[in-house]
Structure 1
Amino acid sequence: MFERLPVPLSRHERAGPPMPEIGPYTLHTVDTGRFGLDGGAMFGIVPKPLWSQRIEPDEQNRIPLSMRCLLLIGDGRVVLIDTGIGDTFEDTKFQDIFAVDHSGATLEGSLAAHGVAPVDVTDVVLTHLHFDHAGGSTRRIDGEPAVAFPNATYHVQRRHWNWAADPNPKEEQSFRSDTFAPIEEAGQLNLVEGETTLLPHVDVSLVHGHTEAQQTVTVRDDETTLVYVADLLPTTHHLSPAWTMAYDVRPLRTIEEKGEFLEQAADSEWKLFFEHDPEVAVADVERTDRGVQVVNERSLDAL
């Protein structure tokens, strides 16, 4: 292990606008760049004339997507939730297909903007191991993949880890072993057993529609609950039942899971953090005559 630096200063000790706090943590958005996926695949059976009114595709029918991660600092911890694509994928063909764009932001650069170096990170919570969520967990060193955060414990659901290690044909291209195998080889893997309180004020819950044992992450105290929804709701445009991804391994399960989740979110006044929405980081939800809808869309600092 590398020497760990002191935990970055809290918002009370640093210059700049105050960031929201939940429990012992100060929360920060970590922008890791953008990429593109086929709009038809992202919206399944929804016709293009409908979804393209909300997110305009490029000439290859790809829609722009954020890779927005969440950083928690406090209680002696630096916790990163998901890691984006990272720099493991060196081949230009891959970057071309998925329109990978790091010109505006990178994982390491965005962490540095918050005063965090890779050696500072104590915990990495991976919602699942698809390359756009776990790719930044490793990096290339002398051409070989190695852990990107040498002092961190990486938290992954055991059922999902086993699922990714022997992928089905539909997800085979989404799992890249060089983005997660080095974690186990380095002895930094914590296999999580189901729904639990993972860290103080941080809970994980399971959904199985998109992939087996994806974990959503809840940060909560007595006043505020923020849920990192990952690919249960990839964007604010995916709340309606039929607006599900073709990437989901169990689309009917997704419909059921997000319906139950949104009802509870509306009842409990949860705040939702969106990983892939190109414009919206945080939103509330409320019941309307058109079902549960997003309201009060905003950035994290307006939480």
Structure 2
Amino acid sequence: MTIKTIDTGPFKLDGGAMFGVVPKTLWQRTNPADDRNLCAWALRNLLIETHDADGKPRLILVDTGAGDKQDAKFFGFYDLPNGKTLAGAIEAAGYSLTDVTDVLLTHLHFDHAGGAVRWADAAHTKLVPTFPNAHYWCHSKQWQWAVQPNPRERATYLRENFMPLQESGQLRFTDEERFNIPDIELLYVDGHTEKMILPKLTVQDKTLLFCADLIPSASHVPVPYVMGYDVRPLLTMDEKTQYLQQAVQENWLLVFDHDPTCEAATIETTEKGIRVLDRGMLANFM
């Protein structure tokens, strides 16, 4: 198994929304805000080259970023587009869109599922799955939340980002069909949103956890640092505690989807709680 990061950021989100009740005087030390109170964040995905249980080669993309098909007004809120595209990032990694066999969507918020679908032509007349040969995977309960969104998440569930996946017949649910890839275990959490997936990867003697939006950056490792976007923040804290403790005990490497400078980190228990030990680029840990 080989793993590469695919980054289509940066983009910007409100610092207060990203850190919830944590005071700005604390979070701005690591994540300075601009004059609109926006902080820069990554749109980081994983590209995994491996084999399935039958020995067939698989190229798996975990999340897809925000994509580039929304209008200027929408993207203006996030300082997008930034000149980077998912297709360009995939090609820079040495692959084509047709090589991808599976797309694992941790959840269907716009900044994770937006790149799953693209315009089929320059005239913008039809939306199609970005990866024509891939199965797209998510949990069925997350799908239902996206199709029938609650008022809190309605603005981030954009139907154009995921309905074409069902219409094309490429959609699969991880709780209905087995995601049968050795050394990839799918964990589920419900604090940020319903049935978000955390892929846990075993690579030789290392265990990696792609933290998705449970722990979006190294700055969010302290348990009280919970995003204002979370639908069940107290549950998020419980889930963070559970997996952070396990990560310390079993020496996991955490991989962050939104940290602008740190792709991955190890953690340790300190007098103040669990904190980052070593941080850096994913390749430096492998």
* Smaller-chain TM-score bracket: over 0.9
Does 1:45 pair with 2:45? no
Gap change, CA 1:240 and 1:195, over 3 Å in 2? farther
**Whole-angstrom CA distance in 2 between matches of 1:288 and 1:186:** 50
* Cα distance in 1, alignment partners of residues 151 and 46 from structure 2: 30
Alpha-carbon deviation of 1:68? 0.7
Tell me what 1:21 maps to.
Answer: none
Secondary structure at 1:280 match in 2 = coil
1:80 and 1:134 mapped to 2: Cα distance?
A: 11
Structure 1: runs of 5 or more not aligned: 1-24
Whole-Å Cα distance in 2 between the matches of residues 245 and 195 of structure 1?
Answer: 31
TM-score between the two structures when normalised by the length of structure 1: 0.88
Please state how far the C-alpha of 1:101 moved relative to its aligned partner: 4.2
Equivalent in 224, 229, 241 of residue 211 of structure 2 = 229
Correspondence for 2:190: 208
- Cα displacement (A) at 1:145: 1.6
Q: CA deviation at 1:196?
A: 7.0
Q: In 2, distance between residues paired with 1:249 and 1:195? A: 27
Kindly provide the CA deviation profile for residues 27-55 of structure 1, in whole angstroms up to 9, marking residues without a partner as x: 11111122111101111111111111110
Q: 1:120 to 1:79 in 2, by over 3 A?
A: same
Judging changes above 3 Å, is the alpha-carbon distance between structure 1 residues 214 and 44 closer, same or farther for their aligned structure 2 residues?
A: same
C-alpha contact (below 8 Å) 2:64/2:86 kept by paired residues? yes
Q: 1:118 aligns with which of 72, 79, 97?
A: 97
Please tell me whether residue 26 in structure 1 is matched to residue 26 in structure 2: no
1:94 Cα shift? Answer: 1.0
Runs (4+) of structure 1 exceeding 2 A deviation are 194-198
Question: In the alignment, does 2:96 pair up with 1:96?
Answer: no
Amino acid aligned to 2:240: K
Report the Cα offset of residue 132 of structure 1: 0.2
Residues 285, 294 of structure 1: 8 Å contact kept: yes
Number of aligned pairs?
Answer: 277
TM-score by length of structure 2 reads 0.94
Distance 1:52 1:101, change over 3 A: farther
Asked if the contact 2:198–2:212 (Cα under 8 Å) also holds between the matched residues in 1, the reply is yes
Cα displacement (A) at 1:241: 2.4
After the TM superposition, which of the residue ranges 216-225 and 50-59 deviates more from structure 2?
216-225
- 1:222 CA drift (Å): 5.3
> Is contact 1:195–1:205 with CA below 8 Å preserved after alignment?
no
User: Which residue number in structure 2 is paired with residue 71 of structure 1?
Assistant: 47
* 1:93 partner amino acid: K
* Structure 1 CA distance for aligned equivalents of residues 180 and 152 of structure 2: 30
Identity of aligned residues (%): 41
Taking the aligned partners of 1:171 and 1:253, their CA distance within structure 2 comes to: 17
